[in-house]
C-alpha cells in the first residue's frame, strides 16, 4: 500500500500520462506547471502573462491538495533566460509577502518549446490532516 494519490487540477493536463502532482502523506511533489491559459489552453506571448498564469496554477494545485501557499517548501523555475527574473519576483512577492516565511527558490535556464517561457515544479509539506 503506497498511499500515493495522483492530483489533477481543472484546465491543466499534460500531453503525457502524468498528473499535475503526486502526494504521499503530507508530501506533495508537482510535475511541470506552465503558464498556459486554463480556458483556451493557449500560451500567452509574454513572460509576465505566463508567470501570472503559472502562479494561478500553483494556487489551484495547493487548493486541490487541501493546502495553501504556506505549505510550499521549494519552487524551481525553469526559464529561457535565467537572468530574466523580474516577472517571477513580482508574483513571488505577491504570493509570499513575508520575507521571513518564503519557500526556497531556484531559477534555472532551460530549453522550452512551443512559446513557453517558464515552467515550475514545487515541493510542499502539508499538515497530515489536510485532505482534498
Per-residue pLDDT tens digits for 5-28 = 999 988 777 778 889 999 999 999
pLDDT band, residue 32 (cuts 50/70/90):
very high
Question: Residue 106: beta bridge partners?
Answer: 76
For 14, residues 6+ apart whose C-beta sits below 8 A from its C-beta are 20, 31, 32
Per-residue pLDDT tens digits for 56-65 = 999 999 999 9
pLDDT value of position 86: 95
Task: Decide: pTM greater than 0.85.
Answer: yes
Q: Domain 4-125 carries which CATH code?
A: 3.30.1330.40
Amino acid at each position: 500500500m503506497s498511499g500515493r494519490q495522483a492530483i489533477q487540477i481543472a484546465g491543466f493536463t499534460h500531453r503525457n500520462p502524468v498528473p499535475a502532482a503526486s502526494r504521499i502523506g503530507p508530501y506533495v511533489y508537482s510535475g511541470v506547471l506552465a503558464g498556459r491559459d486554463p480556458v483556451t489552453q493557449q500560451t500567452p506571448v509574454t513572460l509576465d502573462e505566463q508567470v501570472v498564469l503559472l502562479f494561478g496554477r500553483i494556487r489551484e494545485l495547493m487548493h486541490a491538495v487541501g493546502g495553501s501557499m504556506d505549505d510550499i517548501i521549494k519552487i524551481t523555475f525553469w526559464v529561457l533566460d535565467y537572468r530574466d527574473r523580474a516577472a517571477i519576483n513580482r508574483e513571488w512577492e505577491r504570493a509570499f509577502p513575508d520575507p521571513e516565511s518564503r519557500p526556497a527558490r531556484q531559477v534555472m535556464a532551460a530549453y522550452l518549446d512551443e512559446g513557453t517561457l517558464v515552467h515550475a515544479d514545487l515541493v510542499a509539506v502539508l499538515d497530515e490532516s489536510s485532505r482534498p
